[in-house]
Structure 1
């Protein structure tokens, strides 16, 4: 029974490969076009038409919802990075805020003459320094979150610009070495090729 299954699977794969090969052989190229024109058509099909508003759209989408601009550009792998960066900043903000409130409440209790959680272990000056430390860390966490949010917007904008950048060989600047057959000298030059 296993052998029969293997034969059926093998036969199925052969049929699929033949069908795909026949599909490729049906591609008809016009006889009157040169290979260079055909290559140019293939290259033009690879490029999307220029959209001047694409970078602005991508930046706007990322500003509305982080990662949406990356999805608009097709870079889905960057979305978790953006959320991880923003989430890390938010996590540390909340953790530092909790510690700040803890030391602040202990400081208030000590000033009011009540028993606090750090009664004999931490001095009043240490409570003040701890509050300042966690306050500073809260502010840094906010700045990190905002920085990642802004980088998310900038990344979406720049990537949308670069996706439309034309790196076609027809717009190239190439050094040229030309041998003059009559004089026997080598000519040096720089050529700028435009093909329309």
Structure 2
């Protein structure tokens, strides 16, 4: 019973969140109503994707989603930090191994044998490559987010189309039922 009530409350909040987020616009005269279809610009998603490709976060600024810009730079900056750190450690292990092959034993890793130096190189090289892929993934995700967000902004969301949760009692068993209603008015 608690599960059904919590699901019902969740669906009620979910259904009403869209209603509360909508802004009421004043009635538009019939002459301007025909111009409403011209407000859709098919190049807006392409512009947003291009801006994000040129400078990460610029597409989010173009879409006026400023709160996403720190997320983009945080994700890319963190993965770039790990790339640089793993690259530095990889080069330290590689240089120590090269010096070991030349006969020097006065490096920072004198307590490690050759097999440990090779294993350290492989470990940090793998992590460096993985960090580079994650950085590239966040860059591509930034572009896709700007493109999709620009496309979704253009959708007309009004009260004629709504999905609302409904909680109603079952007539036979008197148990509470949870459901969704889809309303579309022409």
Aligned residues: 140
Are 1:122 and 2:109 matched, yes or no? no
Give the ranges of 4+ consecutive aligned residues of structure 1 lying more than 6 Å apart after TM superposition: none
Which stretch shows the higher mean deviation, 119-128 or 148-157? Answer: 119-128
Which of 57, 62, 70 is the equivalent residue of 2:60? 70
Per-residue Cα deviation, 1:14-70 (whole angstroms, up to 9, x for no partner): xxxxxxxxxxxxxxxxxxxxxxxx95429x7x9992111111111111011100000
Per-residue Cα deviation, 1:69-91 (whole angstroms, up to 9, x for no partner): 00000011111111111111111
- Find the counterpart in structure 1 of residue 121 from structure 2: 131
Q: Give the Å deviation of 1:192.
A: 5.4
Q: What TM-score comes out, normalization by structure 1 length? A: 0.63
8 Å CA contact 1:173–1:193 kept in 2: the answer is no
Which of 171, 188, 193 is the equivalent residue of 2:185? 193
Are 1:49 and 2:39 matched, yes or no? yes
Q: Give the Å deviation of 1:129.
A: 0.2
Q: What TM-score comes out, normalization by structure 2 length? A: 0.67
- Find the counterpart in structure 2 of residue 169 from structure 1: 159
Unaligned 5+ runs, structure 2: 1-24, 165-181
Superposed counterparts of 1:96-111, under 5 Å: 96-111=86-101
Shift of the 121–59 alpha-carbon distance from structure 1 to 2, 3 Å rule, reads: same
8 Å CA contact 1:62–1:153 kept in 2: the answer is yes
Computing the radius of gyration from Cα coordinates, the structure with the larger value is 1
Higher RCO, Cα 8 Å, sep 6+ = 2
SS for the counterpart of 2:50 is: helix
